[in-house]
Amino acid sequence: MVTETTLEINLSALKENFLFIKSKLAPETLLLAVVKAFGYGSDAIEVAKFLEELGVDYFAVAYVSEGIELRNAGVKSPILVLHPQISNFKKAIQFSLEPSLYSNRVLKAFIELSAKLGLKNYPVHIKFNTGLNRLGFPHESSGLIAKNLSQKNSLKIKSLFSHLAASEDLNEKSFTKLQIEAFDRASKSFGLSYGEMPIRHLSNTSGVLNFPSANYEMVRCGIGLYGYDNNSKKNNFLRPVASLKTIISQIHKVNKGESVGYNRAFFANEVKKIATLPLGHADGVDRRYGNGVGHVVIRGSVAPIVGNVCMDMIMVDVSNIDCSEGDEVVVFDETSTAQDLSEKAGTISYELLTAISKRIKRSIVK
């Protein structure tokens, strides 16, 4: 029973998801856990430490600052930085973080810095663009890049990788297969020119589940570890790790014809009992969830959000619920999931989870 707005992080669920994903891999296949965006809105440090205990092989973050937080917390495992900025390369090296090099500009800058610092065999990762068209060298240029890098003893190519664009959508199966084929050609060409084959990773959570032949030497999983996949059927095998709960601050009687909240967005068509909750769009429950789109659960019953979501508060209709001030309220959990709620607003679980503000208390459930 919570006494304030709290995000509960269930490490048992995290362990089950980790073991489920591992069960889909060959014994020798490595697992990289993505803990960017504060561990998908949970707690990157607690998640990473626990996964390290479970034997995860690698971590990935988006930015150097995220990797530094993990290092300062005592995380020892190798950390890939997916989107490093040139201005942070020195910090990356200082904290033994391994950058993704994805363009000629970024590669040149890191080679120059590594030579200046006298580095030997510093681990880096090469990303290829195979169709997502976001980051990455053209996959056709892999041989030339490898030939250039084979002459640079300051760097050690630890892995080659790319990113699937639609592995969760089986209607795009042919496109995903084209991506896999392009990555296969690029990695083989790179290996021949470089003189050895680095670790390869292409599959995300959906890739692991839908295209197991493309797992290569390592897979890179994010959302699946936190209990979600973009396929609702696959979600049955995963347990949501995070549960967002709050309490009822106050209950109002609102008479017929009276309005609730900013801009008078809700008018009572009869006498209503309205509960005010202490969280709002500053906490990650954005305005799309207002005016009956979103809901919470109180004592097992659904209470729709009424009126506009405020910065620090939302109001819900509890006219048909026997509840009191101070009662616990579930925004999402294992039963009423973040995916269920996000779909009502036309978005995805990633967005709802990663939007949860750091000002919300985190509680680790072991």
Positions marked active-site = 36, 262
Q: What tokens were used for 298?
A: 């109180």
Tokens 């659960």 sit on residue: 297
Q: What tokens were used for 163?
A: 């990113």
| CB crowding 196-210: b at 16 or more within 10 Å, else e | eebbbbbbbbbbbbb
Residue 171 neighbours by CB under 8 Å, 6+ apart? none
The Cα 222–Cα 353 span in angstroms is 12
Indicate the helix (H) or strand (E) that contains 15.
helix 11-23
| CB crowding 224-242: b at 16 or more within 10 Å, else e | bbbbbbbbeebbebbbbbb
* Neighbour count for residue 181 (Cβ, 10 Å): 13
Reduce the DSSP state of residue 191 to 3 states and report it.
Answer: helix
The Cα 292–Cα 70 span in angstroms is 40
CB 206 within 8 A of CB 238: no
The Cα 258–Cα 110 span in angstroms is 63
Half-sphere exposure at residue 274, Cβ-oriented, CA atoms within 13 angstroms: 24
The Cα 97–Cα 66 span in angstroms is 10
Closest CA to 170 of 234, 239, 238, 221: 234
The Cα 285–Cα 307 span in angstroms is 13
Reduce the DSSP state of residue 258 to 3 states and report it.
Answer: coil
The Cα 73–Cα 95 span in angstroms is 12
The Cα 38–Cα 354 span in angstroms is 7
CB 226 within 8 A of CB 240: yes
